[in-house]
Amino acid sequence: MKRNILLMIADDLGRMTGCYGEPAISTPNIDALAGQGTRFDMAFASTASCSASRSVIFTGLHTHENGQYGLHHDHHHFMTFHHVETAPALFNALGYLTGIIGKVHVGPPSVYPWTVRAESGTRDIGWVAEQAGAFLETARHADKPFFLTVGFIDPHRDATRSGFGNDDFDDDDEERAFRPEDVSVPPFLSDLPEVRLELAEYYRSVHRLDRGVGRVLAALEASGKADETLVVFVSDNGAPFLNSKTTLYDAGVHLPLLMRVPGARAGVANPNLVSFIDILPTMLDWAGAPAAESARRGRSLLPIMEHETLEDDWRLVFGSHTFHEITNYWPTRFARTPRYKYHRNVAWQLDFPFSGDLYGSLSWEGMRNANPSTIGRRPLKAYVRRPPEELYDLVDDPFEVNNLADVPEHQRTLHELRARTEAWQRETDDPWLYRDGMSVRAIAHHLEAGLKLPDRFDFDPDAPGNR
């Protein structure tokens, strides 16, 4: 049996599907896929930015390890380091036919050498399915196993202030319109007319994505290879709204991850905390790739694919965000356990930046002009101006509003998660592990020569001494 792989990546979907508890959106194909395999209920991206998150999926490395710190396209121009092993390169070496259809959004091409590259910004799911069918036919004639990635454009925003590419499909009888009064406003957003208007358009885009997933899966079934193919479905980051995309709050990084493994039990709801750095090791494990030394710290999910209990060694994940757009510098790291979330905001003195598409949105205009100005349950000022550390009890506060970092009763948890985060930063050689306002990595040679480094996050001009 050839061990094929189909990876489907939604663009800005978040957990806005029926199988993840959103009843107002119709996603029958994604929900069916969840019922046929494993739904990971505690899956986390490392970062909530499109290019950066995809680079984590394709490399198994956090962005501070692989170099894809932010967006790849246009003047942003972030690139994965040339020495980093990527999924297309690894599977090419294993004798696979590799291909990508639709959104690519990582680079350079020499580091991501897909054999078939049908890059496009189209939302035409018919074209996507046709390309998928053609690729599968090419793999059949080549008599090779395949690794195919489908990068959907939906449900990303378009270039308008409230649109999601829907106007191009007004003549499509399969399109479904939603009314603003019928949407379900998630708690991370404010219930305002502008928000409801955008959510209604967003729902339509999500519904089109779902039909695209169904068509690609139908092409796989028609190829006769479905029973030999690992199917993975994931979103790169949270929904394209404030409090979600570009933030490391759960709305931005707690995401869908579905896997259908041939021969495995269906209908599994897996509670273990898994990271997007685990996706590439899982695909390599499925392909039977020989074990090799690597900087990757992710683990294959195949051994726990059918588990429905939380295992002791799957209770902690980390994340790393540095840029979205080139002007959106705001390095932050997080640690997540089943109960607690710790954020280390390195450049906390800077206002949290707005991405261009979210700043121009009607939903943001509505929220900034409301009285009082809030983003969901979070005061606007608390969204823009954040402290150096945040700690949340997600059992009592699932939307990360009440920061416990300065609460005496929670200091033990704060110190434990701070220590574990810093240990992870050291293990991954993170340049944004800071002391006294300096990158510890940048001055490592001076520390070896006797430089004394004050044990504090930031430089204090009122107490500048280090002796």
Other CB atoms within a 10 A radius of the CB of residue 386 amount to 21
What CA–CA distance (Å, rounded) separates 280 from 175? Answer: 34
Given 5, 6, 50, 150, which residue is catalytic?
A: 50
Q: Are strands 4-10 and 146-151 parallel, antiparallel or unpaired?
A: parallel
Measured CA angle at 325 (ends 116, 317), to 5 deg: 80
Residue 390 has pLDDT above 90, yes or no: yes
pLDDT for 80 equals 98
| Length reported for the chain | 467
| Bond prior to 23 in cis (omega within 30° of 0) | no
Other CB atoms within a 10 A radius of the CB of residue 215 amount to 18
Measured CA angle at 201 (ends 197, 207), to 5 deg: 145
pLDDT for 2 equals 86
What CA–CA distance (Å, rounded) separates 22 from 139? Answer: 37
What CA–CA distance (Å, rounded) separates 314 from 56? Answer: 19
Per the CB < 8 A criterion, the answer to whether 263 and 228 are in contact is no
Per the CB < 8 A criterion, the answer to whether 103 and 92 are in contact is no
pLDDT for 275 equals 98
pLDDT for 1 equals 78
Give the phi and the psi of residue 218 in degrees, each rounded to 5: -65, -40
Residue 19 annotated among the catalytic residues of the structure: no
3-state helix, strand, coil in the chain (%, to 5): 30, 15, 50
Residue 87 has pLDDT above 90, yes or no: yes
Question: Residue 50: CB partners within 8 Å, gap ≥ 6?
Answer: 11, 12, 71, 105, 156, 236, 237
Task: Region of 263 please: left (phi>0), alpha (psi -120 to 50) or beta.
Answer: left
Among the listed residues 31, 118, 81, 455, the one whose alpha carbon sits nearest the alpha carbon of residue 295: 81
Q: What is the pLDDT of residues 328-367, one digit of tens each?
A: 999 999 999 999 999 999 999 999 999 999 999 999 999 9
What one-character DSSP code corresponds to residue 83? T
Order across the sheet with 97-102: list the strands: 116-119, 97-102, 146-151, 4-10, 229-235, 254-260, 38-44, 268-275
What CA–CA distance (Å, rounded) separates 325 from 156? Answer: 15
What CA–CA distance (Å, rounded) separates 13 from 237? Answer: 7
pLDDT for 179 equals 97
Q: What is the pLDDT of residues 169-204, one digit of tens each?
A: 999 999 999 999 999 999 999 999 999 999 999 999
Residue type for position 32: A
Cα within 13 Å of Cα(51), Cβ side: 24
pLDDT for 321 equals 98
Residue 29 has pLDDT above 90, yes or no: yes
Distances (CA, A) of 287 to 79, 217, 263, 300, 418: 27, 20, 15, 11, 37
The pair of three-digit structure tokens given for residue 27, joined into one six-digit string: 């996603």
pLDDT for 221 equals 98
Per-residue confidence band for 381, with pLDDT thresholds at 50, 70 and 90: very high
Per-residue confidence band for 292, with pLDDT thresholds at 50, 70 and 90: confident
Structural domains of the chain, ranges and CATH numbers in brackets: 4-315 (3.40.720.10), 319-449 (3.30.1120.10)
Residue 293 has pLDDT above 90, yes or no: no
Q: What is the pLDDT of residues 141-177, one digit of tens each?
A: 999 999 999 999 999 999 999 999 999 999 999 999 9
The pair of three-digit structure tokens given for residue 429, joined into one six-digit string: 């050689």
Q: What is the pLDDT of residues 418-428, one digit of tens each?
A: 999 999 999 99
Task: Report, as an integer, the average pLDDT of 371-385.
Answer: 97
Residue 263 has pLDDT above 90, yes or no: yes
Mean pLDDT of the chain: 97
How far does Cα 125 stand from its chain's mean position?
A: 22
Per the CB < 8 A criterion, the answer to whether 345 and 332 are in contact is yes
Task: Report, as an integer, the average pLDDT of 460-464.
Answer: 96
pLDDT for 345 equals 98
Q: Is the pTM of this model over 0.85?
A: yes
pLDDT for 269 equals 98
pLDDT for 23 equals 85
pLDDT for 41 equals 98
What CA–CA distance (Å, rounded) separates 404 from 196? Answer: 31
